[in-house]
Amino acid sequence: MIRFFTAIKYIFIDLRMDKLFTIGQLIGRWLVRILVAYAVICSLAITIGLVAAYRYVMAPINEIKALAASNPVESAYMAAYREDLRRQNKPDTLTHLFVPLDSISKNLQNAVIAAEDDGFWVHPGFNIDAMVRAYAYNVQSGKIKRGGSTITQQLVKNLFLDTDKNFERKYKEMAYTLLVEKFLGKKRILELYLNYAQWGPSLFGCEAAAQLYFKKPASQLSRYEAIRMAALLASPERKNPFYEKSTFLSSRIQVIANNLYIHHIIDDTGYRNITGAPPPNDSTHADSSQAQTDTSSIE
């Protein structure tokens, strides 16, 4: 409509100047204008794409590479958590201890992977199957009860991203996840995750959690203790590993035990010791989607 009135305006101008153009000439002039506009739009789109590529890919590369050899004082989530405590006029002191991966019990490493991301060692940063299953589960239940985020994605959210949920944050999460996988590798990702995950109110890092809950370093955690700690990750603000009657913790422990059994990390005896029940047969084995966070039973 705007172009129509603009065309009429030019016709009247040309009439006043005694330069009435033919229809062919007018079409030619408009084709040129359309091509120029198209070129401008394409140039703008390319510019925006390059800016976005730099912002979400090139800019964070050095930041991520630095993580290969250095440990942040605190994560973005820890900083936001501290700020939230201040807004509530609560003490903003956080308990956080960092230890290398070889000072963390294999029991805890295995339990956390079984609890949060049992495809951790093989996926490229995203577990598409788990995401699809989580989406279908949430649609069926009518609530967001299960998440499909991998350990790598959770680490990216903890270390780099703010707490606002918008499209920009999702784009950054995707870009950072791929870069973290490329430049850090699985062992370093797991080390960072275990050291910056939240394990309780104002409590960050598995070493601090092990010392608080079990009065021992993370390197000495038994399988039983490790599984109970791993079960906390889905709801660290509300759960304590000593609360035996928690339905939520019991269900999480069951999921962890199932996944440890599936991947042959524990045998029949180990499964019985953890759950007090016989191990599942092939038809009742838990799939990897069950290893994702399910908050439907949080008390």
Mean pLDDT of 42-58: 57
Residue type, 249: L
Structure tokens of 191?
């080390």
Q: Where are the alpha helices (DSSP H) in the chain?
A: 2-16, 23-53, 59-66, 76-87, 106-116, 128-141, 151-159, 167-184, 186-196, 206-214, 223-232, 247-262, 268-275
* Percentage of residues in the chain having pLDDT higher than 90: 51
Mean pLDDT of 79-104: 96
Q: 9-18, 111-120, 155-164, 290-299: lowest mean pLDDT where?
A: 290-299
Of 9-13, 14-18, 138-142, 194-198, highest mean pLDDT: 194-198
Report the DSSP beta bridge partners of residue 203.
Answer: 95, 200
Average pLDDT in the chain: 79
Residue 199: enclosing H or E segment and its boundaries?
A: strand 198-200
Of 54 and 186, the structure prediction assigns the larger pLDDT to: 186
Q: What is the spatial distance between Cα 33 and Cα 35, in angstroms, rounded to a whole number? A: 5
Mean pLDDT of 150-154: 96
Structure tokens of 11?
């016709």
Report the pLDDT value the prediction gives residue 16, as an integer from 0 to 100.
44
Report the pLDDT value the prediction gives residue 47, as an integer from 0 to 100.
57
Phi, psi of 162 (to 5 degrees): -80, 180
